[in-house]
Amino acid sequence: MAKAQPLLQVENLVKHFPITKGMLVSKQVGAVRAVDGISFAISPGETLALVGESGCGKSTTGKLVLRLIEATSGSIIFAGRDIRVLNRHELRELRREMQIIFQDPYGSLNPRMTVGSIIAEPLLIHKTAAGKNLDQMVSRLLEQVGLDPRYAKRYPQEFSGGQRQRVGIARALALNPKLIVCDEPVSALDVSIQAQVVNLLQDLQAEFGLAYLFISHDLSLVRLIAHRVAVMYLGKVVELAGQEQLYTKPLHPYTQALLSAIPVPDPKIEMKPILLRGDVPSPLNPPSGCRFHTRCPYVMDICRTVEPDFTTVANGHVVACHLVGQPGV
């Protein structure tokens, strides 16, 4: 049986934000290397989680994938088309199939628009519905995300955070997309509501065959929703594996440290988190060699000078670490 083509294929994606100096004549004096050569793929109906500490480049990657910001270099192939070479008209047409759910349910909805108008806006922009048909589609979308269709005439400030995020999900679903970038979609919500929203996303994925790029710093949450997990550190992907592989046998020291910090709800199990020394280096001047070497408890001389290549250790499990392949590893 032939393997299905990826819906999204990202190769050597780079985003450097230039730093300039001077008022009348600006001159570039450096660059923030937010995303520095990452590659991954997402299949139809799959959830790939992108995890890591704040500032590692996760959200920037999500915006690059949707071309909300322009990449410095690399390729982004979506449904067989390189979105980096599309003109404005072509990109607008393709955006029907690519949507985003924002992190902040309070800031991502226009307080001057009713919920119905917010959900209807993409339908009107792309001229896919009008009149009575538009109202019916808005009602159906509200029902799909677990909200009463009568709420369409209310304003965002009349809703809780969880309800607002459901409105954001309904807006993302309006054009029947194939891929949704979920940028920390539950981090601003109460813990009691987070599970409800995650369950909703899983139900919608099963019903419509959606693919998700799920951006999060919460590894315990990611384990519930992801099929595969990519771990980012300082603009680089350091490990990528299936969910079960990553959580049961993490190979990169950074991944091991992140997983060791997850609380275990059993007082009989004594867990000692791996404490990393120092702070995350600046993306303006990242370390040479392996970028994690300044904090790694297992650092070797080669780590300080040579950037590790990706090593495949199992089917679909790749890691960029000089330790892999060493005796006892």
- 156-184 pLDDT, tens per residue? 999 999 999 999 999 999 999 999 999 99
Indicate the pTM of the whole model: 0.92
pLDDT confidence bin for 22, thresholds 50/70/90: confident
DSSP collapsed to 3 states, 206-245: HHHCCEEEEEECCHHHHHHHCCEEEEEECCEEEEEEEHHH
The mean of the pLDDT values for the chain is 91
What band does 267 get if pLDDT is binned at 50, 70 and 90?
Answer: low
Q: Is 34 helix (H, G, I), strand (E, B) or coil?
A: strand
20 forms beta bridges with 28
Angle between helices 161-173 and 191-208 (to 10 degrees): 20
Residue pair 75/84 in contact by the 8 Å Cβ criterion: yes
User: Containing H/E element for 47?
Assistant: strand 47-51
pLDDT band of 315, cuts 50, 70, 90: confident
Cα–Cα distance measured from residue 184 to residue 100, given in angstroms and rounded to the nearest whole number: 11
| Residue 312 bridge partners (DSSP) | 318
pLDDT score, position 112: 94
Provide the Cα torsion 214, 101, 137, 225; round to 10°: 20
Residue 98 DSSP class: E
Predicted local distance difference test score (pLDDT) of residue 273: 79
What number of other Cβ atoms are within 10 A of residue 320's Cβ? 22
Asked whether the beta carbons of 189 and 163 are under 8 A apart, the reply is no
Q: Report the pLDDT value the prediction gives residue 272, as an integer from 0 to 100.
A: 75
The one-letter amino acid code at 99 reads Q
β-sheet with 179-183: strand ranges across: 98-101, 179-183, 211-216, 47-51, 228-233, 236-242, 317-320, 310-314
- Of 235, 214, 176, the closest CA to residue 55 belongs to 235
What SS3 class is residue 41? strand
b/e per residue 261-277 (b: at least 16 CB within 10 A)? eeeeeeeeeeeeeeebe
Say if residue 91 is exposed, middle or buried (CB neighbours under 10 Å; 0-12, 13-18, 19+): middle
